[in-house]
Structure 1
């Protein structure tokens, strides 16, 4: 799984459908951090939800997780409400409500979850690291925009097969030209990256094709991450770094597109 928001989207969707227990959601989140905390993003949200603002209270393994699940359950009660994962980056704010505090926080975190019916007010969740052991979920009252249509799973799966090849070619090209060279074996570094992703499990209810797409997206992301970890001893000109960015940008865009399509298909 690529992010805490993706984990919560899939597992909360499974829980809402009656296919997973609250403890399953907690276990999935604890794979990211041993402690979870919850707070309102502003005083209005705090008043609406009863959550602390600005200070957060730790969530424990018992009643604490129920507070987060209660927020999610209440947000999906509106007709047409559902969970939507967002993975924005500068230059690609797809899925964000324009000009909102949630959008600002989600863009900074490069992830978040929208819960509600398009065209109405709903709830936004953004995870933020407090320290290496604590992940805080900040809750926002926000408008729910009309979602950008996801690509079909077949199209996403094909795109990821192509992206695996293109990412491997890009890594080889960078190694050949001297950018990103070093003493470490790239294959071992990629395996290390993949091992980090594999700690985060999918619900059994997630469709097999969606899981394959998410696994392929993680594979491409691992290759790109290794390729971008240029050692300080490796010289690179500004033009060479710009060429690298131009080479990788469409691959990262394809990864986000595939992850969103798969996550939404798996959380229905």
Structure 2
């Protein structure tokens, strides 16, 4: 199992950048640069340039909606993705290791699902349009998500400290966690991201780094029952942070 794929989400930052761009907080050039940093070369699944997708999003996105126009959906072991069951979008988003981005249409009978197909150098976007309601989002406030992650961070940190690892493979757990936290934060977020969301994303990155440190870097799976339970809190924080960002961009 790829531990990093379960705890890191480049699509989180992609969704935030799309929201900031749609509401005019970021330029198209800056958006394209950020997406290249996040996922390499970008194109549609039919090989059209990404600018065609952006033009399409600009045409359909409901920027007057009271609900966030962009939403991130993630899934993991034991947790189905919040897309129509049996749909091609749900099948692809459940197996691509990345999730999907939902964009609200001004026509309430339509919703657009962007699913990335990612390889070592290229991200290819599949665009699905649904004409029936999508599953309701599990709305969690940034405060609630942050509280869950705070508790998870404290619990995971105590586990690492209690182990007292001093091995050739990993001499300094705290240093490794810090370095991985920096990795998860790269290449960053738009400048318009509210501080509350930035704090939540940083917390998610920190917990993700702790999980990866213990399971992947230390190679210790004795704590899997406790650590794997943190994945859901990480995903929830990332989705809640995106929702909050986009809501603030619209103000």
TM-score by structure 1 length?
0.77
- The alignment of Structure 1 onto Structure 2 pairs a total of residues equal to 235
2:4 paired residue number: none
Whether 1:73 and 2:58 are equivalent positions in the alignment is yes
Query: What residue ranges of structure 1 are gaps of 5+ in the alignment?
Result: 40-51, 58-63, 235-240
2:136 paired residue number: 147
User: Which of 197, 209, 217 matches 1:222?
Assistant: 209
> How is 1:53-202 mapped onto 2 (pairs within 5 angstroms)?
56-57=47-48, 64-77=49-62, 80=65, 82-110=69-97, 111-116=99-104, 120-130=109-119, 132-142=120-130, 143-173=132-162, 175=163, 183-184=169-170, 185-202=172-189
Whether 1:211 and 2:217 are equivalent positions in the alignment is no
> Could you say which structure has the greater relative contact order, defined with CA pairs below 8 angstroms and 6 or more residues apart?
2
Q: For residue 90 of structure 1, report the CA deviation from its aligned partner.
A: 2.7
* Secondary structure, counterpart of 1:227 in structure 2: helix
Q: 1:119 to 1:18 in 2, by over 3 A?
A: closer
Whether 1:255 and 2:243 are equivalent positions in the alignment is no
Q: 1:92 to 1:65 in 2, by over 3 A?
A: same
Residues 249-258 or 71-80, more deviating = 71-80
1:237 paired residue number: none
Q: For residue 91 of structure 1, report the CA deviation from its aligned partner.
A: 1.1
> How is 1:24-63 mapped onto 2 (pairs within 5 angstroms)?
24-39=30-45, 52=46, 56-57=47-48
TM-score by structure 2 length?
0.82
* Secondary structure, counterpart of 2:39 in structure 1: coil
Q: For residue 231 of structure 1, report the CA deviation from its aligned partner.
A: 5.6
* Secondary structure, counterpart of 2:82 in structure 1: coil
Highest Rg: 1 or 2? 1
What is the alpha-carbon root mean square deviation over aligned residues? 2.7
Alpha-carbon distance between aligned partners in 2 of 1:77 and 1:148, rounded to the nearest angstrom: 17
Q: 1:119 to 1:170 in 2, by over 3 A?
A: farther
